[in-house]
Amino acid sequence: MTDLSLSDHAIAGKTAPPSEARAFRLPTQWLGVAPFFIFAIMFLVLPTLYLVLGAFQNAAGTFTFDNIVGIFDPPNLSNYIQCQYDSWISWVDGNCRLPTILAAYWISIKISLASSLIGAFAGLAIAIAIVRGGLPNWIRSATLTFSGVASNFAGVPLAFAFLATLGRLGLATVILNTVFGLNIYAHGFNILSFWGLTLTYVYFQIPLMVVIITPAIDGLKKEWGEAAATLGATTAQYWRMVVIPVIWPSFLGTVILLFANAFGAIATAYALTGSSLNIIPIVLYAQIRGDVLHNPHLGYAIAFGMIVITGLANVFYIWFRTRSERWLK
Amino acid sequence: MKSGRFWAWVVFALGAAYFFIPLIATVEFSMRMRRGVYSFDAYEVVLGDPRFQATFGYSVLAAIFTIILGVLIVVPTAYWIRLRLPQLRPVVEFITLLPLVIPAIVIVFGYIRMYGSNSPLPFLASDTGTNALLVIGYATLALPYMYRAVDTGLRTIDVRTLTEAAQILGAGWCTIIARVILPNVLIAVLSGAFLTFAIVLGEFTMASLLNRPAFGPYLQNIGANRAYEPAALAIIAFAITWACMSLIQILSRFAPRSANRPN
In degrees and rounded to multiples of 5, residue A294 shows phi and psi of 55, 35
Interface ipTM:
0.87
Task: Tell me the HSE value of B50 on the side-chain side, using a 13 A CA sphere.
Answer: 0
Residue A15, classified by CB atoms within 10 Å of its CB into exposed (0-12), middle (13-18) or buried (19+), is exposed
Q: Is the pLDDT of residue A7 over 70?
A: no
Q: How far is A117 from chain B (nearest CA, A)?
A: 16
Residue A6 confidence class, pLDDT cut points 50, 70, 90: very low
Q: How far is A77 from chain B (nearest CA, A)?
A: 26
Contact B113 A39 (CB under 8 A): no
Distances (CA, A) of B106 to A44, A269, B163, B204: 10, 16, 40, 14
- Chunked in runs of 10, what are the mean pLDDT values of chain B (263 residues)? 78 91 91 85 90 94 95 92 87 89 92 87 88 95 91 88 90 87 88 90 92 92 88 91 87 65 42
Of the candidates A197, A192, A198, which has an alpha carbon nearest to the alpha carbon of residue A274?
A: A192
DSSP-derived 3-state class of residue A295: coil
Cβ neighbours of B103 (radius 10 Å): 25
Q: Are A94 and A87 in contact (CB under 8 A)?
A: yes
Q: How confident is the model at residue A14, as a pLDDT? A: 45
Q: How confident is the model at residue A81, as a pLDDT? A: 85
Find the helix packing angle between A137-151 and B2-30, rounded to 10°.
40
Residues on chain A touching B142 (C-beta within 8 angstroms): none
Contact B230 A307 (CB under 8 A): no
Q: How confident is the model at residue A204, as a pLDDT? A: 93
Average pLDDT over residues A299-313: 91
Q: How far is B190 from chain A (nearest CA, A)?
A: 16
Q: How confident is the model at residue A3, as a pLDDT? A: 42
Q: What is the pLDDT of residues A40-58, one digit of tens each?
A: 999 999 999 999 998 998 8
Write down all domains in chain B, each with its CATH number in brackets: 33-254 (1.10.3720.10)
Interface membership of B40 toward A (CB under 8 Å): no
Q: What is the pLDDT of residues A212-260, one digit of tens each?
A: 888 888 888 778 888 888 898 888 888 888 888 888 888 888 898 899 8
Q: Is the pLDDT of residue A131 over 70?
A: yes
**Direct distance between the N- and C-terminal alpha carbons of chain B, in angstroms, rounded to an integer:** 43
Residues in Cβ contact with A97 at an 8 Å cutoff, skipping those fewer than 6 apart: A76, A80, A83, A103
DSSP A65: S
Residue A9 confidence class, pLDDT cut points 50, 70, 90: very low
DSSP-derived 3-state class of residue A63: strand
Which residues 135-174 of B have a C-beta within 8 angstroms of A?
136-137, 139-140, 143, 160-161, 173
The three state secondary structure string of chain B is: CHHHHHHHHHHHHHHHHHHHHHHHHHHHHHCCCCCCCCCCHHHHHHHHCHHHHHHHHHHHHHHHHHHHHHHHHHHHHHHHHHHCCHHHHHHHHHHHHHHHHCCHHHHHHHHHHHCCCCCCCCHHHCHHHHHHHHHHHHHHHHHHHHHHHHHHHHHCCCHHHHHHHHHHCCCCHHHHHHHHHHHHCHHHHHHHHHHHHHHHHCCCHHHHHCCCCCHHHHHHHHHHHCCCHHHHHHHHHHHHHHHHHHHHHHHHHHCCCCCCCCC
Which residues 185-204 of B have a C-beta within 8 angstroms of A?
195, 198-199, 202-204
Contact B80 A32 (CB under 8 A): yes
Nearest CA in chain A to B207: A267
Q: Are B231 and B26 in contact (CB under 8 A)?
A: yes
Q: Is the pLDDT of residue A13 over 50?
A: no
Q: Is the pLDDT of residue A16 over 50?
A: no
User: Rg of chain A over CA atoms, in angstroms?
Assistant: 26
Distances (CA, A) of A271 to A199, A268, B81, B130, B213: 15, 5, 41, 24, 17
Q: Are A267 and A317 in contact (CB under 8 A)?
A: no
The CA distance from A103 to A124, in Å, is 31
Q: Is the pLDDT of residue A172 over 70?
A: yes
Nearest CA in chain B to A175: B25
Q: How confident is the model at residue A327, as a pLDDT? A: 62
Residues on chain B touching A274 (C-beta within 8 angstroms): 224
Residues on chain B touching A284 (C-beta within 8 angstroms): 105-106, 109
Cβ contacts from A onto B, under 8 A: 272
Interface membership of B13 toward A (CB under 8 Å): no
Contact B202 A310 (CB under 8 A): no
Residues on chain A touching B161 (C-beta within 8 angstroms): 1, 5, 9
Q: Are A19 and B85 in contact (CB under 8 A)?
A: yes
Q: How confident is the model at residue A2, as a pLDDT? A: 39
DSSP-derived 3-state class of residue A249: helix
With a pLDDT cut of 90, the percent of chain A lying above it is 24
Q: How confident is the model at residue B259, as a pLDDT? A: 47
Nearest CA in chain A to B238: A153
Nearest CA in chain B to A36: B73
Nearest CA in chain B to A40: B95
Q: How far is CA A219 from the centre of its chain?
A: 24
Q: Is the pLDDT of residue A179 over 60?
A: yes
Mean pLDDT over all residues of chain A? 83
Q: Is the pLDDT of residue A10 over 50?
A: no
Contact B204 A145 (CB under 8 A): no
Q: How confident is the model at residue A301, as a pLDDT? A: 92
Q: How confident is the model at residue B123, as a pLDDT? A: 86
The CA distance from B225 to B229, in Å, is 9
The CA distance from B5 to B14, in Å, is 14
Which stretch of DSSP H or E encloses residue A320?
helix A296-325
Of the candidates B251, B110, B257, which has an alpha carbon nearest to the alpha carbon of residue B193?
A: B251
Which residues 109-138 of A have a C-beta within 8 angstroms of B?
122, 125-126, 128-130, 132-135
Average pLDDT over residues A295-310: 90
